[in-house]
Amino acid sequence: MQIDIVTLFPGLFETFSATGVLGRAVDKGLLEITTHDLRRWSGNRWGQVDDEPYGGGAGMVIRVAPTVEAVEDLLEERSIPPRVVMMTPRGRLLDQQLAQELANEPGLMILCGRYEGFDERVVELLHPDEISIGDYVLGGGEVAAMVVVEAVSRLLPGVVGDPESVEADSFTGGLLDYPCFTRPERYEGRQVPGVLLSGHHGKIRRWRLQQSVELTVTRRPDLVKKNWVRYPGEVRSLVRRYAPELARSCENDE
Ligand code: ADE
């Protein structure tokens, strides 16, 4: 997948895209991350891309012309049109489903704002998908873009070594992950749960599922509500056992 990132701080992405799972995906040619400095399209000698907001008020606004021209030029360079995405706190909240949708695209072009954001005409003219990573305000879209890139890349075939680990991950099945343990068996009097040492695969699978369900109903009942329709019978029965009222309210909503 080709990911183009339009930003005022391309340097932020250098180590990020060369490290760990992402770095390997780039080396293997599964992923290409290209940053583009918006200042290239500033149209002035100083590389200035922002200006004061009409109507007054604090902060600066990124001008429409550099942004639209950057995207139009870059789209022309791409033979397969990517999905254009803008990082903004007013956007659709990123979740695993949106990450999967983006992973199905042939490419992404991510616009990172700074200051008070982009001139609204960028949205009117380019119709980007506006995406937020959470209900808080960051200094700019770059870190949010990294979150998108990381969530999306690990869903691309071949990027994560063991596809089962992606499949089993939190949220993919609409449940939080079960707790994990590794050596030693005992530490400061705390023992690894016996079932994990039993070698009995059926019992281990069942214990892990129970743990996942217990954690999800207590910490994130909203996830249970959201994912109820796609839970298999075994998960639904466990929800009924650990949180009967929550299960009833999910059944009523069906
Ligand atoms: N830019 C600033 N805050 C953001 C957020 N929460 N999500 C996406 N982009 C942002």
Beta carbon of 141 within 6 Å of any ligand 1 atom:
yes
Catalytic positions are: 89, 116, 154, 169
pLDDT digit string (tens) for 198-225?
A: 999 999 999 999 999 999 999 999 999 9
Beta carbon of 213 within 6 Å of any ligand 1 atom:
no
The atom of ligand 1 lying closest to the CA of 141 is 1
pLDDT digit string (tens) for 137-153?
A: 999 999 999 999 999 99
Beta carbon of 174 within 6 Å of any ligand 1 atom:
no
Q: Which residue has tokens 């089993």?
A: 168
146 Cα to the center of ligand 1, angstroms = 11
Q: Which residue among 85, 87, 94, 146 is best mutated to probe the pocket of ligand 1, counting the most ligand atoms within 8 A of its Cβ? A: 87
pLDDT digit string (tens) for 34-69?
A: 999 999 999 999 999 999 999 999 999 999 999 999
Backbone region of residue 37 per phi and psi (left: phi > 0; alpha: psi in -120 to 50; beta: other values): beta
Tell me the torsion sign for CA atoms 225, 230, 233, 234: negative
Beta carbon of 193 within 6 Å of any ligand 1 atom:
no
The atom of ligand 1 lying closest to the CA of 139 is 2
Beta carbon of 87 within 6 Å of any ligand 1 atom:
yes
